[in-house]
């Protein structure tokens, strides 16, 4: 007879997840829900590798001891079906995991099709396109599940760190009327017959909110119609943003480096199994991170035999050269004012350069930020200099006349940080359902 849940509980079986089965449970009667990751039928013995999000365990059935209804269930079992099994844990030094469940009964909860379009065990390799086409099956691979368990810890550690520093978590609109980070990469939407855009960043709102909460942060998706198809750009990414009153660019750089170091420390402590599955050995970075100015970067490039004229943005080939000298995390500061967004504060001694910075990891840009302009007249002038219409920013600029403190902040690409932590080189791998120029489904 198929036992119901209550009767199994009554018989002294305890519910555990496959990932929780350890040698310490030796002798315990357990019942488990899980996905049939692998199935092996050896005639008298039948093995199922059962999977939960946190691990796998082997369940061994001996046919001669099973009732007919359970034998039928085993014979019709397909990989990736959801099953409920019950049995007794026993230490099994000969098996891969050192422990197994001696199965006493099985019930198929949800049967998967016989012919799966994708091999979850990873024995058959798949291209990135195939992986993303069957993303939910791809995510079930323990190595891929690991990425998102690490992501979960990263989210938690960021929130924890920033809250301790006195930052309030906020949520700003994602449907907006004006561009903040330049017009080219905007997604336009029809908003009841009017034009609206998907937010590229929370920039203007987070700056306004420092006049209320002083320190705010937001972790949210943003949208950029990126024409370039690279391994580090997607159309929908997650940004971790902070903005703080009474801080300048140096203050928020310190918040950023300390946060990154804390996050990595937490991942190292809490996600050992996942890092191991990914084959990553990780150590928290030492702070402070190295700081170089934009001018220094150009000098370094010259020394590396790569000439770059003053004034242009550091492009990928420049950054790849620079990464020969700077490994790990480092900041580049004081970019030319002209290549930074309108809201960045020019240096008061030398307005050609700005109180801005990028956080780099080797050649990958992880974050950018700076001191912001807090004077409304200067903000209006900078909007004009950048060819933007101050009229479109009227409501925003007005706020600067209502008591705007000096302030600074940054935006950190969450997935880019995750790439650094997991050592994965394609941003799509660290996004559950990535969106790029050529992908809108699944
Ligand atoms: P920026 O435009 O540099 O700055 O963006 C901040 C960080 O977000 C990440 N990022 C992306 N990640 C994946 N795909 C993309 N298409 C993409 N675009 C950006 C990067 C980048 O460093 N408002 C400012 C931040 C600030 O000054 O507070 C801003 O948006 O890691």
| Domain regions of the chain by residue span | 5-110, 137-430
Catalytic: which of 90, 365, 381, 439? 365
Mean pLDDT of the chain: 95
Output the pLDDT for position 188: 93
Which of 181, 208, 218, 226 is labelled catalytic?
226
Q: Is residue 407 among the annotated active site residues? A: no
In the chain, % of residues over pLDDT 70: 98
Whose C-alpha lies nearest to ligand 1, atom 11?
413
Nearest to 204 by CA among 418, 425, 399: 399
Chain segment 341-367, per-residue pLDDT in tens: 999 999 999 999 999 999 999 999 999
For 176, residues 6+ apart whose C-beta sits below 8 A from its C-beta are 196, 197, 198, 199
**382 classed as catalytic:** no
- Catalytic (active site) residue 396: no
Distance of CA 395 to the CA centre of its chain: 33
Cα of 228 from ligand 1 centre, angstroms: 15
Rounded (10°) angle between helices 414-422 and 249-270: 50
> Which residue's CA is the closest to the ligand 1 atom numbered 14?
233
Q: What is the mean pLDDT of residues 53-78?
A: 97
Second CATH level (architecture) for the domain 137-430: 2-Layer Sandwich (3.30)
Rounded Cα distance, 211 and 245, in Å: 7
Q: Determine the average pLDDT of the residues in 181-197.
A: 88
Residue in 222, 315, 416, 424 to alter for ligand 1 test, most ligand atoms within 8 A of Cβ: 416
pLDDT score recorded for residue 12: 87
- Residue 367 CA, closest ligand 1 atom number: 22
According to DSSP, residue 344 is labeled B
The pTM of this model reads 0.96
The span from the CA of 73 to the CA of 64, in Å, is 15
Residue 338 has pLDDT above 80, yes or no: yes
* Total residue length of the chain: 442
Nearest-CA residue for atom 17 of ligand 1: 233
CATH code assigned to 5-110: 2.40.50.140
């Amino acid at each position: 007879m198929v036992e119901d849940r209550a009767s199994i509980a009554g018989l002294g079986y305890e519910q555990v997840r496959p990932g929780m089965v350890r040698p310490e449970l030796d002798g315990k009667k357990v019942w488990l829900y899980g996905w049939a990751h692998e199935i092996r039928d050896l005639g008298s013995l039948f093995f199922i590798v059962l999977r939960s999000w946190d691990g796998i365990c082997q369940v061994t059935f001996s046919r001669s001891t099973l009732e007919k209804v359970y034998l039928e269930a085993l014979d019709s079992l397909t990989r990736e079906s959801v099953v409920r099994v019950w049995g007794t844990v026993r230490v099994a030094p000969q098996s891969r995991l050192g422990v197994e469940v001696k199965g006493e009964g099985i019930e198929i909860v949800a049967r998967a099709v016989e012919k799966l379009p994708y091999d979850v065990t990873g024995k058959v390799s798949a291209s990135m396109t195939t992986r993303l086409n069957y993303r939910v099956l791809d995510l079930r691979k323990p190595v891929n599940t690991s990425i998102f368990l690490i992501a979960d810890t990263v989210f938690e550690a960021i929130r924890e760190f920033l809250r301790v520093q006195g930052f309030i978590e906020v949520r700003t609109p994602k449907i907006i009327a004006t561009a903040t980070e330049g017009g080219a990469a905007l997604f336009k939407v029809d908003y009841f017959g009017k034009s609206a855009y998907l937010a590229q960043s929370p920039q203007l709102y987070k700056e306004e909110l420092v006049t209320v909460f002083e320190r705010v942060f937001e972790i949210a998706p943003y949208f950029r119609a990126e024409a370039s198809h690279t391994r580090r750009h997607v159309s929908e990414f997650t940004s971790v943003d902070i903005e703080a009153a009474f801080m300048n660019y140096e203050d928020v750089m310190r918040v950023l480096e300390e946060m990154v170091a804390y996050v990595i420390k937490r991942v190292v402590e809490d996600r050992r199994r996942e890092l191991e599955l990914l084959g990553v050995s990780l150590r928290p970075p030492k702070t402070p991170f190295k700081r170089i100015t934009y001018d220094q970067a150009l000098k370094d490039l010259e020394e590396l035999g790569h000439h770059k004229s003053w004034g242009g943005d550091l492009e990928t080939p420049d950054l790849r050269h620079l990464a020969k000298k700077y490994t790990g995390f480092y900041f580049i500061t004081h970019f030319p004012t002209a290549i930074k967004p309108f809201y960045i504060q020019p240096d008061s001694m030398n307005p050609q350069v700005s109180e801005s910075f990028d956080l780099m990891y080797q050649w990958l840009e992880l974050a950018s930020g700076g001191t912001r302009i807090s004077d409304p007249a200067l903000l209006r002038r900078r909007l004009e200099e950048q060819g933007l219409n101050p009229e479109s920013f009227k409501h925003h600029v007005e706020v600067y006349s209502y008591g705007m403190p000096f302030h600074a902040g940054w935006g950190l690409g969450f997935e880019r940080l995750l790439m650094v932590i997991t050592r994965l080189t394609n941003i799509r791998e660290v996004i559950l359902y990535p969106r790029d120029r050529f992908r809108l489904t699944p």
